[in-house]
Amino acid sequence: MSSESIPVIAIDGPSGTGKGSLGVRLARTLGWHFLDSGALYRTLGWLAMQEAVVFDDVVRLAHLAARLVVEFRDAAPGSGEMRVMCRGEDVTRSIRSEACAHAASQIAALPAIRAALLAQQRSFRQPPGLVADGRDMGTAVFADATLKIYLSASPEERAERRYKQLKDQGVNVNLRDLLDGILERDARDSARGASPLRAAPDAVIIDTTRLDLGAVFERVIYLLDARERRAGKNQ
Ligand code: DC
């Protein structure tokens, strides 16, 4: 089976739109692989901070990126929870910090870093299929994806979701600071020259501001079925 014939669902959009939860649910339901590409950028950011590499030292960052080995492991069979491992360490919690989000967004703007992570992301395309979540899944990494979804939601709603998530984890944060961080990262991710955050022309845009995960999931399954029916008719 050639890599191009393995189906891919690409899910893009800014943070806090529910890409990860949707992606995990789709992958579990379909029995497909799942790629959280943001976790790669976050882990690279974490490594850079560990090694005191400044975020504009492209040469050292590219060196780190070329050797980056990130392993995704099931936390427990069937739990749908993923553990992210790097250099023998469980970095699942660490890479979700605001510091790592900031580092990832800065590093992700560098074309050399995006290029260095491309092959690693594409290697996740394995039978029977892949659900990939990120910013450029449908526009660059898997431009030939079977189905492209772009999730959006208002920045206020996304900050509120993140606030609740952190509160539940016992982390004390300020809603205004979260909103400012989101707006800053959105601006950087959208304005960068290399694979900026934007919907592919053939992506289906879903605004999740007032939709729960179940409703978004049903919509995507419907779209996938419709696409498969259409592909079947054209054969
Ligand atoms: O999805 P996330 O919040 O974990 O991503 C963290 C950062 O990584 C985000 O600011 C943008 C960047 N990123 C990217 O540029 N391209 C991707 N495919 C995934 C993430």
All residues at 6 or more sequence positions from 79 whose CB lies less than 8 Å from its CB, including other chains: none
Ligand 1 geometric centre to CA of 50 (Å): 19
Question: pLDDT by residue for the chain (235 residues), tens digit each?
Answer: 688 889 999 999 998 899 999 999 999 999 999 999 999 999 999 999 999 999 989 999 999 999 999 998 887 776 667 899 999 999 999 998 889 988 998 999 899 999 999 999 999 999 999 999 999 999 999 999 999 999 999 999 999 998 998 888 888 889 999 999 999 989 988 888 888 889 999 999 999 999 999 999 999 999 999 988 888 777 6
State the burial class of residue 46 (Cβ atoms within 10 Å of its Cβ: 0-12, 13-18, 19+).
Answer: buried
Determine which residue's CA is closest to atom 2 belonging to ligand 1: 38
Residues in contact with 126: Cβ distance below 8 Å, sequence separation at least 6, in sequence order = 6, 33
Amino acid identity at 47:
L
Nearest to 171 by CA among 83, 79, 96: 96
C-alpha 205 to ligand 1 mean position (Å): 18
pLDDT value for 159: 95
At 218 the pLDDT is 97
Type of residue found at 210 = R
Atom of ligand 1 nearest to the CA of 41: 8
83: left (phi over 0), alpha (psi -120 to 50) or beta: beta
Strands 89-90 and 82-86: antiparallel
Nearest to 39 by CA among 73, 62, 6: 73
Q: Report how far ligand 1's centroid is from the alpha carbon of 183 (Å).
A: 14
- Quick one: pLDDT at residue 73? 87
Neighbours of 197 (CB within 10 A): 22
Task: Give the Cβ contact number of residue 60 at 10 Å.
Answer: 13
Contact 136, 220 (CB under 8 A): no
Report the nearest-CA residue for atom 15 of ligand 1.
108
Correct CATH for 3-228 of 3.40.1000.10, 3.30.70.141, 3.40.50.300, 3.40.50.720 = 3.40.50.300
For residue 109, give both structure tokens: 């703007």
